[in-house]
Homo-oligomer: A and B are copies of this chain.
Amino acid sequence: MIVNYTDLIEKVKRTTVPKPLSITLSGHAAGEPFDKHVYAKIKKQFPKNTFRQYEYLNDLFSKSPDTIGFNARQELFNSPTVLFLLSRGKNATDKWSIENPFEEKQNDTADILVVKDNFYELIDIKTRNISKSAQPPNIISAYKLAQLCAKMIDNKEFDNFTINYFEINWELEKDKLVCQDAHFGCLFKANPADLYINWAAAMQIQFHVCDLDQTFKGERKKWAKEYLKHFVIQAKKRSDDMIKKFVKPFEKYLN
């Protein structure tokens, strides 16, 4: 890992951002300024290595202006797994140019990307109003993570990237949002068999970062295999549950 999160937690605690206008404080959007805040702090420490995901893609493509089109630009990534995590779709990649760069996209995998010595550290910021109880947020698509694990195994790429989550707990004080605490968790240190998949909510894995166990000790290859096992078991279970809940109770009406 590149970033020192213990240090980062201390740096963001008690920092403030102005209360946004006309946005309900329940929504996820309210805490968004903290995301930019964390980005600035990491960028200060690693100015040449810190990017927003779209910035990294613009940087990568700008360095090879003669490489045109989706397939050729895919080759610019030196890792199929990182390619899978960071790249945009065919149409957007075909249309990219220095005059028509990528902009921020809400469902990009990472909020922040720190790249050093061919190691990619993806960081996703989760902001949380601790005055209200809320469902655990969407973390990543369980299916996308299964595809990622398959790619890691297919390409034997286990050590060139990580995915980290950073939770900002904020509270409204007068006209400011104040960061009261922060938490860090590494996806690949969580026990994969314990990850909760919300099938109805676009198959999203959901957790509060502060609740994420960090006790997994095995190698990444083991993590990938254990996650795939968990995903397949859960998908089978959901498939069976759908028959029990959505088919059986209604069959008597189909005469």
Residues of A whose CB lies within 8 Å of any CB of B are: 20-23, 143, 146, 149-150, 153, 200-203, 224-225, 228-229, 231-232, 235-236, 238-240, 242-243, 245-247, 249-251, 253-254
Contacts and interface: CB of A to CB of B under 8 A. Distances in A.
B250 A146 contact: yes
Contacts of A242: 235, 238-239, 242
28 contacts: A20-B22, A21-B22, A22-B22, A22-B23, A23-B23, A143-B245, A149-B253, A150-B249, A200-B203, A201-B202, A224-B253, A225-B253, A228-B250, A228-B254, A229-B254, A232-B246, A232-B247, A232-B250, A232-B251, A235-B242, A235-B247, A236-B243, A238-B242, A239-B239, A239-B240, A239-B242, A239-B247, A242-B242
Contacts of A253: 149-150, 153, 224-225, 228
Nearest to A238: B242
- Number of this chain's copies in the assembly equals 2
Contacts of A243: 235-236, 239
A211 to B, nearest CB: 23
Contacts of A240: 239
Contacts of A200: 202-203
Closest 10 CB pairs of A and B: A235-B246, A239-B242, A22-B22, A239-B239, A228-B253, A21-B22, A200-B202, A228-B250, A235-B247, A232-B250
Contacts of A251: 232
* Residue with the greatest number of chain B CB neighbours at <10 A, chosen from A231, A235, A243, A253: A253
Nearest to A224: B253
Contacts of A245: 143
A27 B247 CA distance: 34
